Structure 1
Amino acid sequence: MNEFSRQELALWGKKGDKDGEYFWLPLIAHLMDAKNVIGFLYMHWLDDGQRKLIEKNLGPKAANIVQFLGYVHDIGKATPAFQTKQSRWNNPDLDHEIVEHLLKAGFKEINDKLPMAEKSPHNFAGEAILLNYGVEPSFAALLGGHHGTPCSGNRNLKRDIIDHTANYYQRDHDGDIQQMWKKIQQDFFEFGLKECDLTVSEIPAIEQEVAVELEGLLIMADWLASSEYFDEDKNKPMFTLIPLTDEDFVFDRKQLKQRFQRAIKTWFVDGSWIPQRIANIDNYFENIWNFSPRNVQKTMLSKIQSSIDPGIVVIEAPMGIGKTEIALAAAQQIAAVKGKSGVFVGLPTQATSNAMFSRVRDWLDRIGQLQGNSFSINLAHSKAGFNLDFSKLPQAENLDFEEDETSVSVNRWFVGKKSVLSKFNVGTVDNLLQMGLKQRHLFLKHLGFSDKVVIIDEVHSYDAYMSSYLKKVLSWLGAYDVPVILLSTTLPYETREGLVSEYLSGKYSISVKKIASTLDFTKKTEYPLLTFSDGEKIEQVADFKQSTQKKIEVVRLNLDETNLAKDILAKVENGGVAGVVVNTVARAQQLAELIKSLDQDMPVLILHSAFLAPDRAKIEKNLQKLIGKSQEDRPEKLIVIGTQVLEQSLDIDFDVLFTDIAPMDLILQRIGRLHRHKRVRPSGLEKARVFISGIQGFGEYGDANESIYSKYILMKTDYYLPDELIIPADISKLVNLTYSSEIFDQSDLSSDSIEKLEMAKKDEELFIEKEKQKAKNFQIAKPKSKKLIRGWLDLKKPVNDLVGDASVRDIEDSIEVILVKKVNDEFMLLDGENIENVDSAKIASETIRLPRRLTFDIEATISELEKETRSLFADWKTDPWLKKSLVLCLDKHNSTHFNGYKVIYKPELGLVCEKE
């Protein structure tokens, strides 16, 4: 007995043409494909924690409901509005053949154009059809959102069938034709219920956080079920279309099951991580890293091991203590307890992400070897393709673990928006913060992070704007019961309490204020410090074996540039490595040139963001070699001048340190590079000393410094910074004093200084409030179980996917360009290679971000650069590496005139801009 009529089997779900031949896929085939795929993903791709969350809401028939969701997701295609829809690439011949195919199957007058078909897109039509059948609205809303954006909260889909009847039934009034379409839709709907052993009454109201998860799972399943080939490889078929000449499609469950099994076998090539509890911390460290754990590492991990219901963990410890190893080991332990199947590590910058990627890859590689398994890992930032460690990993589908040297690979299906679905991810924290940003396909972000243990490094570096997103994201991670590990050199206790409270408020659906009032938080300033939640209980551990304390002498300088340069030279006159950290690129360049003019024999290295990406990587590698942990290549004399990049994840060691005034935590971060390793110091530099410049008086730090950092925080840093530091003992105390909202003793300040301080405080409070309000413009709401996902992503102004990164950071727009130079009518890279002889990937890596002063009129600048790029390199528009690139062309001397500046690239200084 055929379960579908000829007309029902003739409905198309997909169509296309290849080399003049027409192809299609019957709607019922796609519905069954999606049902089978989502069922597989639910049982074998979701982790125990995700299934537990869903089953708690959906009950014992959760798997049936999920399969029905996959099946019914495109029921809106069983409408004349969709069946008469033009093909995506506007192929009228294909569209004509499809209509002829429908006419042959018995549809009448289906070739008549519907004047308002676009008013009922199939995803919203599907939602309307389910509402018409009395399906729970929170479930029906999942159909409306399966293309990435749910129906607006202002739209009444219950009226859509009434207002646009012909879109659903072909005619507004013709009873016979209407009845035919109604029967088709009813047949598809009832078949799906029967196929999934379900009744309408068994579909419950879907809680919001579960609905977001299910929507993400549906989008993933739909994309998979719509993939004809794995990675566009015709030798790896998945859910292929069939020739339109095969008009008489026969519904065959067995064939559809075989089609599904073949596709999943092609796609599901990664091993599953089954995390093991750590039985012995010492053995774990020896097996993974070939060294024994420090006391602080062992103590923290043993405490985390004792958690029955781990939630959020905050690890505050100095640089070099091994926070990364603690976090990765804790991630494995917690994943085993919570049933998680992946790990995400988020960092502030691409540079720090690259450094961390290698460490996580090695950890994962070792775990894979010990388990006899292979795992995929993804590097998640816009420059990932240029990372050698990432690009050299084998593709997962080509991996034979027994023969390959590594157990870590890359699965090419997880690219673009799907990259977050990869089980192991390292990347910029923007990827995580975008969980809080209203944008299309946000559901995938939530699905992708809900199966992981989330590690966030350098939490102390996030400003008020980013912190607003972080708090919102933590509340959602709490709602999903996703374990979170926060790493920081140190945090103000108010920040620590705020982050923990946001997480627990999401987990237990309680207001932050109520959570904060019930937490047994003390204003701990002990250091190092471990804070972690075990269920609703908070524990803090500060009882660690005392590490060696280091005394640092702090000297304030108020010198002009020439005398500062002379002072730096004097400090290394008898040998030594001086580190000089300044707050702007221009100041770094000017100081380097000044020092060279005073002593041309003095070796000077400079590092900042205004270098070509390959040049910066070489400089960083050279610095690590020269002044890293090893003594072997350490020079007798060297001055290293850099901006904030020197304080980020570089294991370098200075004999003496100079730094511009900066917030307390950043100064302490910079001091972490002073006398970092045990070694004999040069004469006169045996004692660790840091020289602070830019302090002209209390509250007077120069326009440049005050434009970068909060004047109020600089004033508090200036006030609390002692003449002698004890590191690490003083770190937490000083950071808390600087960032505490409590009023501090001002008795030793003049009335003028107090007035300056109060004005700066008021400006700071206004700025922070403005940042918070600005961040809220594009933020989703906190999780609310009883809310529908309809209207969840509604915006007053649309935000496209391209501004997603910028929207979680409050930064000015900037322009990235590829630098080339023209020599004798030939175009070359700046290293002299003719671009005709260089592959596109290398050309695309020669990028630099233009300083703001060159792009004050950013739209006009982009237009000018686009025009020049099209003129010089017209063929780039079809090159996958270069099609979105902009070029700034220099002359043979590496210079040009641009927007009122002379711009010159100097390998030793970077991009120099001189006002004309």
Structure 2
Amino acid sequence: MQETTLASYFYYWGKAQKQELDFKGDSYHLLPYHSLDVAAVGVEYLSQHDSLSRFFCEQLDCSREDWLNWAGFWLALHDLGKFSEAFQSQKPELFEQLQGREPNSEKPYSERHDSLGQWYWNDRLADQVIDDGWFIDGQQSSLDCWVRAVTGHHGQPPKASPSNSPSDDYFSKKDRKAIQAFTEELQTLFLTDGAKELCLQLTPIQFESISKALSWWFTGVAVLADWLGSNTDYFPYQGKAIPMQKYWAEAQVNAKKALAKSGVVPSDIKRGLSFNDLFPVIHTASPLQQWAIKVDIQKTPQIFLLEDVTGAGKTEAAITLAYRLMESGNTDGFFVALPTMATANAMYERVSNVYSKLFVDDANLVLAHGSRNLVDDFAKTIIQASKPENDSEQKDETASARCTAWLADHNKRALLAQVGVGTIDQALLGVLHSKHQSLRLLGLFGKVLIVDEVHACDAYMQGVLEVLLEFHARAGGSVILLSATLPVHMKQKLLGAYAKGRNALCPVISEQAYPLATWWQAINTNQLHQEPLATREAVTRTVAVNYQHDMAQVKNAVLAALNAGQCVCWIRNTIADALEAHTLFTNEIPTANITLFHARFCLSDRLDAEELVLHKFGKSSTHALRKGRLVIATQVIEQSLDVDFDLLMSDLAPIDRLVQRAGRLRRHSRDVQGNRLLAEGAADQRGEPCLWVYAPAWTNEPSAAWVQDVLPKAGFVYPDHGQLWLTAKALQSGSFTMPHDARHLIESVFGDDSQIPKGLQQANLTVQGQQMADASHAKNNTLTLVSGYKRGDVMDWWSEAKTPSRLGEQSINVVLARWENERLVPWVKRNHSWAYSTVKITERLMAKAQLPATVNQLVEYNRALESLPDKGKWSLLLPLEQNSSGNWVAQAWTSDLNKAAQLLTWEYSVQTGLQMVSENNYKGAVSE
């Protein structure tokens, strides 16, 4: 290259990979071209995403054309830090080839290029663009927001700039000249008169405030554009210089191709669909569903809170509302957030039957936690990972590597799809100091956020959810909250958080009826709509309660029901208790008739167990499938699973959980043997449902050890023993009627007027203190909308794997492998085998695997570790070996956080999951 004939910015590489012997084409991509690739993708994405661009234009009070030019300019600056000699020197041979000399060893690459770009802006470029009048009345504090957003494309804000012009330590004089020439070229390409004057539309204070708020979503655009713009399938490497204007035209064409294949641009909504079109199998809509069909839908951000009994059709009502919001132009799609993975699986099956009807073109439904349906059918529709740059010389994690790693955890794709289903954690991470949170916020933009089983949130999760509602409301999104049981004070806080996002106050809840639909709209902020509803006659019923403290009585009742040809479920509060109950019946009934269903199975085996439960006990199950079968489960079965048992046992739990569990008792109309009665209005013929509750013996004056004496492990799961006692008190009447007793049951346990007996007051006060601390913790961990996208003074940004979307003990992803002929292979043999071989467990119990003893096995272990999606960075590879008894076992060390680490032995089987087999030697409490 001849410096006299080429612009100075053509001597810088932006992307590169090793030159292989069989490699065809250029081995590097010039930095100005990569910058334009990313700008082209971002501008094209914003061009096609009408609601997103409309949001930015309305906030900035500018035209669409001016907005797209403004956005393109900033996006083209995202890799400004790569102009530094420090970055360029990572490829010394390429540096010498391009610049004709060896790199300066006094400019080491010790800071990542995202921060270097921000620092250069602060030190030099900001003064230049302001002094030269590139932006009319542009203030640096306002423009800083846009630079931080694009330089933060690694998924977290760039580091704050230290004092004393730090960029001089990384950029040479030649680099500065190249940047000046490059930015002047960008000015010519993007900064039309309208774009330059965009700052004039608002006062300086208004513009800065709005820029801060918009930076949260614009950062997501930068991350997405960088990923797609780094995909060599659409943007092949170009090492030869051609005019920037010509390359920009090519990049725009390539961007259209990349977006067409990405699956992230909303499809058009199919209009005019009726409830029957959406749900043809429902012949008569429930009262709640009828309300959802008829309620007035305004063109404004709004929040709905729907309370009705289990089985009343809340999901269908929510989807009906979501469709009507989409049809009216309020939103483009929806995301259903559920409390657990099992509930997300069940919801996926229900939503998948509807989603294809909602759109003119094919839209993407994605499950957000790794279901086989996601991987096999839908993963390929949301952003295909590009070929990695496989270059060990580069210290930076490349954009293609970041994209591949993020998408390898398939649960994240759902937020980018037009219709998504997943755990609430995926949404909550959007407002925590979590890497790539901006991508989650962007994914939620323009969608109805449907939060099912919202009562399952604890104090910390509720605090985070309140911030998410504020952010979502600020972006003009609508929300639907669903619950069978929700205390009034919790409802008020959630509604208030959403109203805060619209700069308003939500009126006080006054209606105590149940079922109840409550909604608030941003166009009439002083009015809170509250409409009492009837419920389906089929779910209006009285449930008898058998309160039992004798384990022998529970066991005898289970065996009697099984011998009578019934099916039984016993919901236990911990995995350890579930395993104990499994042992209790192992010699009493055939092994094939017992199913354990808990969270400590690897994903593939857990999905198989869930599929079996739904098949044997779901709405289509028959007497032949159900008879004599026992399910021993934990909380994973209590929410959103459409299963039906003839007899239901439950450990004592807070009243809202028991009401949910009772929803799995004689849920469908069946004959005396348990076969479905399909005639509309058919009455169940199995008699009055009876819920057995295994609990401490009832007493009006419990001691502090009242719970621990009978349910020691459950006492850790539900630490407010006062609430457990109030629940037990409510059950002493011997029955409850739904929906008539619902509000009374909830408020009698969770209401402010509840009286805790003296022996349990200390535990109650301790829990209240912890809840206050958890709420405070949520406030500290969550983002502040008005501050904009930047690093705080105290809170740093974590990896997604370490960001607490829930409090409690730290957990870790354990990836199961087994030895086969000196090879360490995934436990599951199928596509995406490592993902399906993963189980989550408390890090206290398993922090580090015991490594193989032989050199050859250790080499093989390290090879397998490198093949994991995260290369073991945030997971633990557990090598299982088959012993002489045919059992698969491994050893792992406990955490040494509070005491000396211990080496424990673990066993895994598809029947019982992962369990500790040397638990008696372990001194720590096991409360899982």
* TM-score bin, normalised by smaller chain: 0.7 to 0.9
TM-score (norm 2): 0.80
User: Of 237, 242, 248, which aligns to 2:238?
Assistant: 242
> Which residue is 1:56 aligned to?
58
> Which residue is 1:584 aligned to?
574
> Which residue is 2:452 aligned to?
457
RMSD over aligned Cα atoms: 3.8
Q: Which sits farther off after the overlay, 681-690 or 809-818?
A: 681-690
CA distance in 2, matches of 1:378, 1:868: 41
Structure 1 gap segments, 5+ residues each: 104-109, 172-176, 230-237, 400-410, 747-752
CA distance in 2, matches of 1:146, 1:394: 27
Report SS of the residue matched to 1:729: coil
Pairwise mapping of residues 414-813 of structure 1 onto structure 2 (< 5 A)? 415=407, 420-508=415-503, 510=504, 515-516=505-506, 519-533=507-521, 535=523, 536=525, 537-544=527-534, 547-548=537-538, 549-559=540-550, 561-598=551-588, 603-630=593-620, 631=622, 633-681=624-672, 686-698=687-699, 699=702, 700-702=706-708, 703-709=712-718, 710-721=720-731, 722-740=733-751, 742-744=752-754, 754-781=757-784, 783-784=785-786, 787-791=787-791, 793-804=792-803, 806-813=804-811
Question: Aligned partner of 2:577: which letter?
Answer: R
> Which residue is 1:336 aligned to?
327
User: Of 349, 354, 360, which aligns to 2:351?
Assistant: 360
Change (3 A) 1:685 1:447: closer
Change (3 A) 1:626 1:868: farther
Given that 1:437 and 1:808 are in contact with CA atoms closer than 8 Å, whether structure 2 keeps it comes out as no
Pairwise mapping of residues 23-38 of structure 1 onto structure 2 (< 5 A)? 23-38=27-42
Give the CA deviation at 1:676: 1.0
Change (3 A) 1:422 1:125: farther
Partner deviation per Cα, 1:730-759 (whole Å, 9 max, x = no partner): 22331122111x223x5xxxxxx7312432
Partner deviation per Cα, 1:426-457 (whole Å, 9 max, x = no partner): 22111100112113333222222112111111
Give the CA deviation at 1:66: 4.0
> Which residue is 2:925 aligned to?
none
User: Of 274, 294, 303, which aligns to 2:268?
Assistant: 274
User: Of 293, 296, 302, which aligns to 1:302?
Assistant: 293
Give the CA deviation at 1:761: 2.6
Q: Which sits farther off after the overlay, 115-124 or 255-264?
A: 115-124
Change (3 A) 1:862 1:773: farther
Question: Aligned partner of 1:436: which letter?
Answer: V
Change (3 A) 1:760 1:86: closer
> Which residue is 2:372 aligned to?
387
CA distance in 2, matches of 1:395, 1:131: 45
Question: Aligned partner of 1:480: which letter?
Answer: A
Given that 2:469 and 2:498 are in contact with CA atoms closer than 8 Å, whether structure 1 keeps it comes out as yes
Given that 1:75 and 1:126 are in contact with CA atoms closer than 8 Å, whether structure 2 keeps it comes out as no
Residue 143 in structure 1 maps to residue 133 in structure 2 = no
Given that 1:25 and 1:242 are in contact with CA atoms closer than 8 Å, whether structure 2 keeps it comes out as yes
Partner deviation per Cα, 1:613-664 (whole Å, 9 max, x = no partner): 4343333333333332233534443333222222133322222222110010
> Which residue is 1:41 aligned to?
45
Give the CA deviation at 1:396: 4.3
CA distance in 2, matches of 1:414, 1:572: 47
Given that 2:852 and 2:858 are in contact with CA atoms closer than 8 Å, whether structure 1 keeps it comes out as no
Given that 1:138 and 1:788 are in contact with CA atoms closer than 8 Å, whether structure 2 keeps it comes out as no
Given that 1:35 and 1:67 are in contact with CA atoms closer than 8 Å, whether structure 2 keeps it comes out as no
Give the CA deviation at 1:667: 0.5
> Which residue is 1:233 aligned to?
none
Report SS of the residue matched to 1:650: coil
CA distance in 1, matches of 2:788, 2:912: 55
Change (3 A) 1:573 1:116: closer
Given that 2:461 and 2:806 are in contact with CA atoms closer than 8 Å, whether structure 1 keeps it comes out as yes
CA distance in 1, matches of 2:126, 2:822: 66
TM-score (norm 1): 0.81
> Which residue is 2:19 aligned to?
19
Partner deviation per Cα, 1:243-282 (whole Å, 9 max, x = no partner): 3xx3xx2315345313421342243134742235556xxx
Give the CA deviation at 1:479: 1.0
Question: Aligned partner of 2:714: which letter?
Answer: N
> Which residue is 2:392 aligned to?
none
Give the CA deviation at 1:28: 4.2
Question: Aligned partner of 2:55: which letter?
Answer: L
Change (3 A) 1:146 1:257: same
CA distance in 2, matches of 1:868, 1:274: 57
Give the CA deviation at 1:843: 6.2
> Which residue is 1:291 aligned to?
282
Question: Aligned partner of 1:621: which letter?
Answer: E
Q: Which sits farther off after the overlay, 346-355 or 572-581?
A: 572-581
Question: Aligned partner of 2:887: which letter?
Answer: N
Question: Aligned partner of 1:442: which letter?
Answer: Q
Give the CA deviation at 1:469: 0.8
Change (3 A) 1:558 1:821: farther
Alignment coverage as a number of residue pairs: 829
Structure 2 gap segments, 5+ residues each: 131-137, 385-402, 675-684, 892-901, 922-928
Given that 2:216 and 2:788 are in contact with CA atoms closer than 8 Å, whether structure 1 keeps it comes out as no
Given that 1:558 and 1:694 are in contact with CA atoms closer than 8 Å, whether structure 2 keeps it comes out as yes
Question: Aligned partner of 1:199: which letter?
Answer: K
CA distance in 1, matches of 2:572, 2:80: 65
Given that 2:36 and 2:251 are in contact with CA atoms closer than 8 Å, whether structure 1 keeps it comes out as no
Pairwise mapping of residues 372-383 of structure 1 onto structure 2 (< 5 A)? 373-381=361-369
Residue 894 in structure 1 maps to residue 887 in structure 2 = yes
Given that 2:269 and 2:326 are in contact with CA atoms closer than 8 Å, whether structure 1 keeps it comes out as yes
Give the CA deviation at 1:197: 4.7
> Which residue is 2:303 aligned to?
312
Question: Aligned partner of 1:29: which letter?
Answer: Y
Report SS of the residue matched to 1:427: strand
Residue 198 in structure 1 maps to residue 195 in structure 2 = yes
Given that 2:269 and 2:327 are in contact with CA atoms closer than 8 Å, whether structure 1 keeps it comes out as yes
> Which residue is 1:174 aligned to?
none
Given that 2:86 and 2:107 are in contact with CA atoms closer than 8 Å, whether structure 1 keeps it comes out as no
Residue 95 in structure 1 maps to residue 95 in structure 2 = yes
Change (3 A) 1:601 1:397: closer
Give the CA deviation at 1:390: 4.2
Give the CA deviation at 1:470: 0.6
Change (3 A) 1:185 1:573: closer
Q: Which sits farther off after the overlay, 602-611 or 294-303?
A: 602-611
CA distance in 1, matches of 2:833, 2:546: 45
Partner deviation per Cα, 1:330-384 (whole Å, 9 max, x = no partner): 112112334422221111222222222233233122334xx3x111233222xx1
Q: Which sits farther off after the overlay, 201-210 or 698-707?
A: 201-210
